[in-house]
Amino acid sequence: MTQIGFVGLGKMGGNMVHRIRRDSDHEVVAFDFDAKAVKKAVKKGATGAGSLKELVEQLGPPRMVWIMVPAGDPTQETVDKLAKLLERGDVIVDGGNSRWTDDKRRSAELKRRGIEYVDVGTSGGVWGLEVGYCMMVGGPPKAVKRLAPILDVLAPETSEQSSDAIGPRGWLHFGPAGAGHYVKMVHNGVEYGLMQAYAEGFEVFDKCEYELDKAKIAHLWGQGSVVRSWLCELAARAFELDGNSLEAIEGYTEDSGEGRWTIADATAHDVPTPVITASLYARMRSRGDGEFADRVLAALRNQFGGHAVKAAAKK
């Protein structure tokens, strides 16, 4: 049995706590500034905490605390506060979308306090509760080994032993601090390109001379086609829920930063990334007057990650 603290109980964090408690005997102490989110986690079997201090006090040493809050200042502030509460030998895990360079800096700063740092790039969105999460891990081997029982539960149930015997398929330790989020960063850059290709293809269907059922096309492509994928399945679901023209959705698509970071690092290494770059620019364009492809992009992000969509203005 492993004990872990969880900070951040939003769409992904809350589901991860639920999966850990539902599928294992591991103990979770959960905290969020939203008291309702804490109560929900308690109903799923976690122990609630009313503050970071209370969370740390309820964990037995050596402690592990998993942070699942927005990247940037919220994550940094949480790390800074925990660093003052934790002790030598404890571990901080960042499962958000931090930039890998921030991981390297935090790891070095925490090491001086005797606290270890693990970065876990996490993919799976709102569907991870049922199908599991793909996790890309960086950090000290001993700390990752301690975290492994939690990663095993969060990974897909159909996991098989990986080639390096570190963990099951569904999570993998790639190297020192930053390596996990670096792999997740490129993963999201690739995701941008895949989504854009689907969006553009369905816009061609939208403008062609035939009356085509886009949901049926997406379902058909999922049956043996070389372009079948989970994103294609989600496209079918989006068309079924929001209609063949996605009229209720405004074609406004945010980006969370990973695509930009991927392009910047690729440029630094003289690696051309025309598809990822074009897909990022398409998202930027969508913040004007969205076309059909932009509505598809917005619908896909909503389907896999629960990202908010903007309702189209009524005509």
Residue 44 among the catalytic residues: no
Q: Helices (DSSP H) in 49-140: which residue ranges? A: 52-57, 73-85, 100-111, 128-131
Q: How far, CA to CA in Å, does 187 sit from each of 51, 123, 124, 192?
A: 33, 9, 12, 9
Token pair of 168 as six digits: 């099951």
From 40, 104, 184, 214, the catalytic residue: 184
Residue 184 among the catalytic residues: yes
The C-alpha atoms of residue 25 and residue 126 are separated, in whole angstroms, by 23
CB 258 within 8 A of CB 122: no
From 191, 214, 250, 258, the catalytic residue: 191
Give the SS3 label for residue 226.
coil
Q: Which helix (H) or strand (E) holds 217?
A: helix 214-221
Token pair of 137 as six digits: 């891990």
Please list the active-site residues.
Answer: 184, 191
